[in-house]
């Protein structure tokens, strides 16, 4: 077995810029990431954890290999956390 095989991860994202940022950071630790172009209908939730868990579950069910996702939100204290996980929707 290839010793690097255990250190390969797939990054499921539709955003090539996110992949481009993550690749050298993880490579510095000896972790090889491969881009899995990933587009799916993201669930709506107030929880980043719930959104990420659902996305990684969908990605893993398709790939059946180690995979991770990344999700963010913009939480503004003066607006009681708004837009939070809905920041992409607000931007559109």
CA-based radius of gyration for the chain? 15
CA 65 to chain centre: 15
H-helix segments, the chain? 16-27, 48-63, 87-91
For residue 13, the SS3 value is: strand
Q: Which residue has the tokens 């719930």?
A: 50
Q: What are the catalytic residues?
A: 71
Answer for the pair 68, 56: CB distance below 8 angstroms, yes or no.
yes
């Amino acid at each position: 077995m290839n010793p690097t095989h255990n250190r390969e991860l797939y990054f499921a994202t539709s955003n090539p810029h996110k992949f481009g940022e993550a690749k050298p950071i993880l490579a510095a630790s000896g972790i090889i990431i491969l881009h899995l172009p990933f587009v799916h209908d993201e669930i709506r939730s107030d929880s980043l954890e719930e959104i990420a868990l659902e996305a990684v579950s969908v990605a893993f069910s398709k790939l059946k290999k180690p995979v991770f996702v990344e999700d963010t939100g913009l939480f503004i204290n003066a607006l009681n956390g708004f837009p939070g996980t809905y920041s992409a929707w607000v931007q559109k």
